[in-house]
Amino acid sequence: MKKYSELTKEELQALKKELEAKYKEYQAKDLKLNMARGKPCVEQLNLSMGMMDVLGADSDLTCDDGTDCRNYGVLDGIKEAQELLADMMEVPSDQIIIYGNSSLNVMYDTIARSMTHGVMGSTPWSKLDKVKFLCPVPGYDRHFRITEYFGIEMINVPMTKDGPDMDMVEKLVASDESIKGIWCVPKYSNPQGYSYSDLTVRRFARLKPAAKDFRIYWDNAYTIHHLYDDKQDNLVEILAECKRAGNPDLVYKFASTSKISFPGSGIAALASSHNNLDDIKAQLTVQTIGHDKVNQLRHVRFFGDIHGMVEHMRLHADILRPKFEAVIEILKRELEGLEIGTWTEPKGGYFISFDSLEGCAKDIVAKCKKAGVVMTDAGATYPYGKDPQDSNIRIAPSYPPLSDLIVATELFTLCVKLSSVNKYLSKM
């Protein structure tokens, strides 16, 4: 098949007729498939059902240090959970706070606290004329919704295969005191599946912000979410690197077990410097007497240690890997060489990023929906839901059964072709 850019008007019109006939066939199937979010599938959730049995009415709910997990207290989490999550996050166990089930909630609280009370004695952001955040794009829509909710101005920073454009990050952070943070998904990024290079992490650790209350929001959501045993990305650990660079307070590091155990009832954690943690605990002491220690103990008893968690993630990978490979195989088979789209081939995480011809993403997603396949809204991977090129689409392979995923992806490629043909015809 020739590149679409090389087809004559007559060839494009003939191709359009053929594609529209196929599209009507899909519409007649009355599909109801959902690829909108990166939710674990039922088979993945079933992997953790043993967690429901590790604690019972006759279980000893006392920690090694004598803490009774049924009672009040232990603001920063039981010691065993701190050690488990610290190993997962590659940080010292005394530099971590264990929260409830949602790391997104922790990030929201961190922004809210900065708005109302400032960061380590700095002026509360709500009292400043302007507050800005850097947003690597495409990126995680829920990050952007938090900063938008608080009225924080978001600045797009292009992503590369090595991470954000660090020349741009360094320049902006050093020159503008109103820039207070940057969102980062450093490993198997959402949606591209890129992992930051060693050099990128080291440049982050050596930033020289104009604002003393600038923080890097390091959301390491996919820290052990590999698809392959023999092809894994590894990161330089940011907290240790910041300490070496003389910037120990520069980073808030977030993670959770949301896609390891149960997304609705996992445990989340924040790791940072002792100075940052002391600042956070001052607010946390008012907010809560302690998070769910029984659930923390449940996770510890189920996984045992980091080795148990890693083995558990291999089971997740066995379920996810065929789905990612099926999507990529279909994209290659149907679209390779046509020059109407590009896509990432991640080694972990939860998403594949697809870039269509400029101006086609919304139309592709709308066509999919009209034929019964719901995808993430085009533009969602950019602040304010506005993709300047209208080209990025996030593909989430995890939730649908493999047979449904194959049908949905084949329909997706058909919609890409149809939208691309229409774009070329509109220019003739």
Report the CATH number that the domain containing residue 394 is assigned in CATH.
3.90.1150.10
401 lies in a domain? yes
23/366 Cα distance (integer angstroms): 13
305 alpha-carbon distance from chain centroid: 24
Residues 290 and 320 in one domain: no
pLDDT in tens, the chain (428 residues): 789 999 999 999 999 999 999 999 999 999 999 888 899 999 999 999 999 999 999 999 999 999 999 999 999 999 999 999 999 999 999 999 999 999 999 999 999 999 999 999 999 999 999 999 999 999 999 999 999 999 999 999 999 999 999 999 999 999 999 999 999 999 999 999 999 999 999 999 999 999 999 999 999 999 999 999 999 999 999 999 999 999 999 999 999 999 999 999 999 999 999 999 999 999 999 999 999 999 999 999 999 999 999 999 999 999 999 999 999 999 999 999 999 999 999 999 999 999 999 999 999 999 999 999 999 999 999 999 999 999 999 999 999 999 999 999 999 999 999 999 999 999 98
Listing DSSP states for 381-413 in one string gives TSGGG--TTS-EEEE--SSS-HHHHHHHHHHHH
| 116: helix, strand or coil | helix
Residues 265 and 353 in one domain: no
318 lies in a domain? yes
55 lies in a domain? no
Structure tokens at 73: 């207290």
Angle at the Cα of 75 (from 149 to 114), degrees rounded to 5? 30
CATH number of the domain that residue 231 is part of? 3.40.640.10
pLDDT score for 2 = 87
- Note whether 125 and 344 are within 8 A (CB): no
Residues 351 and 283 in one domain: no
Residues 182 and 124 in one domain: yes
53 lies in a domain? no
Q: Provide the number of structural domains found in the chain.
A: 2
Residues 28 and 142 in one domain: no
Size of the chain in residues: 428
pLDDT score for 381 = 97
222/220 Cα distance (integer angstroms): 6
Structure tokens at 146: 């938090």
182 lies in a domain? yes
Residues 253 and 334 in one domain: no
Residues 86 and 10 in one domain: no
Which of these three, 257, 282, 304, is where a domain ends?
304
Closest CA to 238 of 195, 261, 192, 205: 205
Q: Which residue has the tokens 């923080």?
A: 215
Residues 121-155: b if buried by 16+ CB within 10 A, e if exposed = ebeebeebeebbbbbbbbbbbebbebbbeeebebb
397/387 Cα distance (integer angstroms): 22
Predicted TM-score (pTM) of this structure: 0.97
Structure tokens at 259: 């896609």
Residues 258 and 364 in one domain: no
Residues 8 and 112 in one domain: no
54 lies in a domain? no
pLDDT score for 164 = 98
pLDDT score for 306 = 98
| 98: helix, strand or coil | strand
412 lies in a domain? yes
Residues 234 and 351 in one domain: no
287/113 Cα distance (integer angstroms): 11
Residues 270 and 385 in one domain: no
Structure tokens at 337: 């060489």
Residues 24 and 140 in one domain: no
CA-only gyration radius of the chain, Å: 23
Which of these three, 304, 329, 359, is where a domain ends?
304
- Domain carrying residue 150: 63-304
Which of these three, 240, 271, 304, is where a domain ends?
304
Closest CA to 321 of 44, 32, 80: 44
271 — phi, psi (to 5°)?
Answer: -120, 140
